[in-house]
């Protein structure tokens, strides 16, 4: 009984993204940047040093018309649980200053900006390129600083940042719940900005351990897969696609190897 | 002008010539300092690093100079622990080179981090699971050991030695040097290994990842081994360059050959281990992640299979064969070729384990990303070379670095 209770308390927030629904409109990226005060450059043409906590990739099946097919794949931080799901994510285990942390209560990988000293080892460790370095100090167009979210600290030059699954929203929801005398929050009380902004309803977010949340069942779908599962990073972002080539693009396979 | 500072019985170039030499090296040093200040005040946007290349030229330079500076700990180990007495004639220089390498590595690290003023967080908020934490602790401690090993040399300067306190201090430090040599060897084993672990533990990066024993990937042991093997070659290489520049013989050939022989056997055993590691990685580790060996060496403009052949065969097997054979060691041209190849081998190994790890795409829908350094990165990487030239020049001029110099260059 005690074990059951403790299991119930441990949350594992995650995402299920239906790639068959995603149109690649980019609303999720915009919402993410606005919600999290993500800085941008005057010239964003050089993408290798642009900060995009949530990035949409365009995948193609490499075939020509009429068999050509494309798929848009939104990629937030995968909030990896690491080998055996013990919280030793590729990035968390390598950070020398404990500036990135695996929250055992929520399964969310955080980034402590004030502790990061910018060695970028976590970026080298992340196979998803989900971590970004602040090569410049953030500069906002005149007046825009008034529109920044007060719930998320802006980051300075020289530190790494990444998607936090809008952790501040979780904190606000928990604060509200505690104020109202509750210990738990409802599924709808904590949703990420990208999830809410998706016009196609392609992104579902919730507690992967909670059978009452949509993601609990969605992740069991026969078309569900995660990126680079073979590396045993144990991501908390699942993808759905009815197309075999898309599912196969999620991982590396040897030539002639069957999935 | 400065003759009172020059050791007795040896000849040095005129002061004006020395000043000119130092001035030239100083100009290069200032260029590097300017680039360093740009990086510190304007930030790492001065580099060509990006979010795909979080680790680049500087991390390679760090790993390379630490490997090559390994000559200090291994020569010290051979001299004081194993008891190879002849090596007393080159140990001073090995220590000096090691001191330069390690101080350079610390300087480069200070430039490389995005928030240099927070550098101390690595000690304060230490994450015991991180290889970099171990590197930081052992590197700093070992730099302390190298300083302790270098100080007695400074105290041997003619004028400083006249002060009784410094004379006795230097003498007593010499007496207990074996303790520091042992400490240095112990610390070096861990930080050289941890540097190997930096890429070896990256289970999200199939090119760098290696299996291992307990918490240590095989690269942990290979790095320590290769540093012990190639470090002495770097010491010999710099000794030979110094002899060329000064126009004098500074170390007897039997000393060079002994160090070269030990180095040769170390390279030979290392390269066997490296071949086994590469074979296992290519056949078992990488395929388990869905990669064939050639996936890492094709479809890009630079990283072909040539780099693996260069590292293992040309810069590994070849110098091992030359240095383990007496004929090879006795032939000056063959000896120098082997020495240079071994040094190059360590550098190529560190290069691929940093930059190729970053270049190889892991997500199937990403491509290879190439990188070339900015002038600021190049200048700050050359900065330690200029600093090394200056420190070696000053030490050579004013300190009795080479015990055999007088004997090998009798005054007519």
The pLDDT tens digits for B209-254 are 999 998 899 999 999 999 999 999 999 999 999 999 999 999 999 9
Same domain, B145 and B291: yes
Residue B409 counted as domain residue? no
Residue B21 counted as domain residue? yes
Same domain, B32 and B116: no
> Rounded CA gap, B259 and B236, in Å?
8
Structure tokens at B19: 């000043």
Residue B159 counted as domain residue? yes
Out of B318, B341, B361, a domain closes at B361
Note the pLDDT of residue B37.
98
- Does residue A5 carry a pLDDT above 60? no
Q: For strand A13-18 and strand A237-240, is the pairing parallel, antiparallel, or unpaired?
A: parallel
Same domain, B135 and B29: no
Same domain, B78 and B31: no
Tally the domains of chain B: 2
Same domain, B61 and B193: yes
Regions of chain B where pLDDT drops below 70: 412
Note the pLDDT of residue B75.
95
Note the pLDDT of residue A3.
47
How close, in Å, is residue B57 to chain A by CA atoms? Answer: 13
Query: What is the per-residue pLDDT across A28-66, written as a single tens digit (0 to 9) for each?
Result: 999 999 999 999 998 899 999 999 999 999 999 999 999
Whether the bond into A191 is cis, omega within 30 of 0: no
Residue B406 counted as domain residue? no
Same domain, B42 and B145: no
> Are B364 and A252 an interchain contact pair (Cβ–Cβ within 8 Å)?
yes
Residue B368 counted as domain residue? no
Domain that holds residue B177: 47-361
Residue B82 counted as domain residue? yes
Same domain, B126 and B272: yes
> Are A96 and B127 an interchain contact pair (Cβ–Cβ within 8 Å)?
yes
Q: Which 3 state secondary structure label does DSSP give B234?
A: helix
Same domain, B116 and B39: no
Residue B372 counted as domain residue? no
The structural domains of chain A, ordered by start, are 2-248 (3.30.70.20)
Same domain, B61 and B23: no
Same domain, B200 and B125: yes
DSSP states of B56-117 as a string?
-HHHHHHHHHHHHTHHHHHHHIIIIII--GGGHHHHHHHHHHHHHHHHHHHHHHHHHSS-GG
> Are B204 and A228 an interchain contact pair (Cβ–Cβ within 8 Å)?
yes
Which chain A residue's Cα is nearest to B288?
A230
Q: How many residues does the structure list for chain B?
A: 412
Same domain, B42 and B148: no
- Does residue A246 carry a pLDDT above 90? yes
Out of B361, B383, B399, a domain closes at B361
Select the residue of A73, A120, A136 nearest B43 (Cβ to Cβ): A136
For position B349, which CATH number holds?
A: 1.20.1630.10
> Rounded CA gap, A176 and A199, in Å?
27
Note the pLDDT of residue A1.
42
- Does residue A4 carry a pLDDT above 70? no
When the pLDDT of each residue in chain A is averaged and rounded to a whole number, the result is 94
Select the residue of A117, A134, A255 nearest B121 (Cβ to Cβ): A117
Same domain, B266 and B356: yes
């Amino acid at each position: 009984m005690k074990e059951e209770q403790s299991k119930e308390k441990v949350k594992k927030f995650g995402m299920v993204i239906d790639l068959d629904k995603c149109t690649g409109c980019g609303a999720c990226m915009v919402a993410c940047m606005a919600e999290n005060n993500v800085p941008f450059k005057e010239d964003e043409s050089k993408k290798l040093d642009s900060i995009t906590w949530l990035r949409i990739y365009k995948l193609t099946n490499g075939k020509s018309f009429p068999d050509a097919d494309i798929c848009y794949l939104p990629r937030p931080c995968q909030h990896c649980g690491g080998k055996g799901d013990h919280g030793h994510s590729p990035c968390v285990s390598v950070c020398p200053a404990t500036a990135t942390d695996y929250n055992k209560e929520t399964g969310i990988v955080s980034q402590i900006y004030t502790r990061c000293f910018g060695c970028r080892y976590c970026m080298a460790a992340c196979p998803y390129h989900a971590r970004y370095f602040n090569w410049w100090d953030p500069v906002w167009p005149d007046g825009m600083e008034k529109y920044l979210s007060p719930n998320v600290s802006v980051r300075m030059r020289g530190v790494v940042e990444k998607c936090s699954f809008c952790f501040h929203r979780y904190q606000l929801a928990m604060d509200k719940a505690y104020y109202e005398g509750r210990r738990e929050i409802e599924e709808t009380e904590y949703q990420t900005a990208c999830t809410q902004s998706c016009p196609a309803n392609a992104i579902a977010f919730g507690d992967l351990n909670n059978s009452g949340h949509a993601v609990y069942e969605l992740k069991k779908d026969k078309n569900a897969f995660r990126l680079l599962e073979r590396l045993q990073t144990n991501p908390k972002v699942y993808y759905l696609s009815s197309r075999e080539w898309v599912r196969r693009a999620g991982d590396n396979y040897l030539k002639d190897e069957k999935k | 002008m400065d003759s009172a500072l020059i050791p007795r019985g040896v000849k040095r170039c005129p002061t004006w010539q020395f000043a000119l030499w130092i001035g030239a090296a100083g100009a290069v040093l200032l260029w590097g300092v300017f680039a360093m200040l740009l990086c510190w005040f304007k930030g790492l946007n001065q580099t060509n690093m990006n979010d795909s290349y979080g680790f680049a030229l500087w991390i390679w330079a760090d790993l390379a100079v630490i490997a090559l500076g390994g000559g200090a700990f291994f020569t010290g180990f051979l001299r004081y622990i194993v008891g190879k007495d002849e090596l007393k004639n080159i140990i001073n220089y090995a220590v000096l080179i090691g001191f330069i390498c390690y101080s350079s590595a610390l300087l480069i690290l200070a430039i490389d981090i995005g928030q240099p003023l927070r550098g101390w967080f690595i000690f304060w908020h230490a994450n015991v699971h991180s290889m970099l934490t171990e590197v930081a602790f052992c590197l700093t401690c070992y730099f302390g050991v190298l300083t302790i090993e270098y100080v007695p040399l400074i105290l041997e300067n003619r004028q400083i030695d006249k002060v009784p306190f410094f004379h006795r201090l230097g003498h007593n430090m010499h007496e207990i040097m074996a303790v520091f040599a042992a400490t240095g060897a112990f610390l070096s084993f861990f930080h050289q290994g941890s540097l190997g672990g930096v890429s070896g533990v990256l289970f999200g990066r199939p090119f760098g990842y290696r299996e291992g024993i307990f918490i240590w990937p095989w690269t942990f042991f290979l790095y320590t081994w290769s540093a012990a093997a190639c470090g002495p070659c770097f010491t010999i290489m710099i000794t030979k360059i110094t002899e060329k520049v000064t126009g004098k013989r500074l170390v007897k050939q039997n000393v060079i050959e002994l160090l070269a022989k030990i180095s040769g056997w170390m390279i030979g055993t290392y390269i066997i281990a490296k071949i086994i590691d590469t074979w296992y990685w290519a056949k078992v580790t990488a395929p388990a992640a869905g990669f064939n060996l050639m996936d890492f060496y094709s479809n890009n403009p630079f990283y072909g299979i040539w780099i693996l052949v260069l590292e293992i065969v040309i810069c590994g097997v070849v110098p091992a064969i030359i240095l383990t054979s007496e004929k090879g060691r006795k032939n000056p041209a063959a000896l120098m070729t082997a020495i240079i190849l071994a040094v190059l081998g360590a550098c190529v190994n560190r290069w691929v384990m940093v930059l190729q790890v970053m270049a190889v795409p892991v997500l199937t829908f990403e491509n290879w990303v190439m990188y070339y350094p900015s002038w600021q990165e190049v200048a700050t990487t050359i900065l330690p070379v200029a600093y090394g030239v200056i420190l070696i020049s000053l030490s050579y001029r004013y300190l009795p670095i080479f015990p055999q110099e007088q004997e090998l260059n009798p005054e007519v």
